[in-house]
Amino acid sequence: MKLDFDGRDVVVTGATGELGEAVARLLVEAGATVHSGRARVAGGIDLSDEGSVARFYAGLPPLWASIHAAGGFAASGIEGTSLADLRRMLDMNAVTAFLCTREAIKNMRGRGGRIVNVAAQPGVEPRRGSGMSAYTASKAAVAALTLSLAEEVASDGIWVNAVVPSIMDTAANRKAMPKADHSKWPKLDEVAATIAFLASPQNAATRAALVPVYGKS
């Protein structure tokens, strides 16, 4: 299926990360005008700060889609996880998704649109989150937020979904796990393609979905 974003404005947060960059590239190729929500980098915005996110979205044209690929990861056993660690994961993953989704909905009211969050396999299968409880909890919050808001705004024609990747085949993950079987990991382009479809006008019916992108893992 050919995706057509011609004449449509789309936000991609985390566009300087590997997944966000892959998504932004695919959307530009499909004709979208991509607005990059660059998190916590020089020239970017703090996506966990309510005022910063509100100002960013307030300055945008009418949006067709908002894709939230910004986030972070940390792993440690529970005894080595501080309250600050938990709050950091919640800020980086759940709070950023909440604020960006809320502001995108404000922008889209009355026209419809598409919102795609990025959860993670441990967030929907918590037993897979052993040794990373703070990260798991933060991604579970993203999943719950996605499903609740999907019902809330469905009558406005705003479809809210999330992709749920397992460990993705990125340079950073290969470096961190050099002995893993990388052939089983979903590729960045595969995850990006799933996100692009969910965000596209061609997605006429799928909403309130947590779409697993696990590859062979």
**Residues acting as catalytic residues:** 135
Q: Which of 148, 124, 150 lies closest to 137 in space, CA to CA?
A: 124
Residue type, 125: E
At residue 48, the 3 state secondary structure works out as coil
Rg from Cα positions in the chain: 16
What separation in angstroms does the CA of 208 have from each of 40, 71, 104, 154, 158?
29, 21, 16, 9, 10
Strand boundaries in 52-139, DSSP class E: 65-68, 113-118
Question: CB neighbours of 32 closer than 8 A, spacing ≥ 6?
Answer: 5, 6, 8, 9, 10, 64, 65
Q: Which two tokens stand for residue 177?
A: 């796990």
Contacting residues for 22 by C-beta, under 8 A, at least 6 apart: 188, 189, 191, 192
Q: Please work out, in degrees rounded to the nearest 5, the angle formed at the alpha carbon of residue 47 by the alpha carbons of 44 and 52.
A: 75
